[in-house]
Amino acid sequence: MITSADHEKDIKLSAGLQRVALISLIALFLWCLAWEIFLAPLRPGSLLFLKAVPLVFAFRGVSKGSLYTMQWASMLVLLYLMEGVVRVASDPPGPSILMAWVEIFLATTFFIAAIMYVHPAKRAARAAKAAKVLLKAEQVAATKSSARGDTDTLK
């Protein structure tokens, strides 16, 4: 388990989910490169392999377990999921359809791992926000009751 110092309480984040997310992200990157350069390019000399470049920007943050990076990378990977679905539905029969299914699998794996990794921190943040709002409401009530001279309000 990895602990995060973002909140007062330590949040337990799963190192296993982080590893799954990182491995699937790297695999998706390599798969996109191999697919568009060697395995089943749309046409010779196509620059479609550049679609993999945005994934590189998430490597560092995902490898460190950054919650922020996991969140935006999970949104980014949805583009690769959509591309895979479109290519499964629209490409002519051949190896490209199998490549698209692999892309769908890798993108879905990353998305689920990233969302599950971030979930405990999001839950803790919501609880901390609710506690802060409750504390503020109690302070306001205490201030109002002391202004009126009422001492039984907080009992």
Residue-by-residue DSSP string for 30-50? HHHHHIIIII--SSTT--GGG
CA trace torsion 128, 131, 133, 139 (10° rounding) = -140
Half-sphere exposure of 141 (CA within 13 A, CB side): 11
Q: Which among 18, 29, 95 has a CA at the least distance from the CA of 64?
A: 18
Q: Which helix (H) or strand (E) holds 13?
A: strand 11-13
Q: What is the mean pLDDT of residues 7-35?
A: 85
Q: Where are the alpha helices (DSSP H) in 1-94?
A: 15-34, 53-64, 67-90
Q: Among 27-36, 39-48, 80-89, 90-99, which stretch is predicted with the lowest mean pLDDT?
A: 39-48
The predicted pLDDT at position 150 comes to 58
- Is 0.85 surpassed by the pTM of this model? no
Highest mean pLDDT among 10-14, 58-62, 116-120, 147-151: 58-62
153 has a pLDDT exceeding 60: no
Question: When comparing pLDDT for 152 and 28, which is higher?
Answer: 28
Tell me, what's the pLDDT at 8?
36
pLDDT tens for 25-72 read 999 999 999 988 888 777 777 888 899 999 999 999 999 989 999 999
Mean pLDDT computed over 103-121: 93
pLDDT band at 149 (very low <50, low <70, confident <90, very high): low
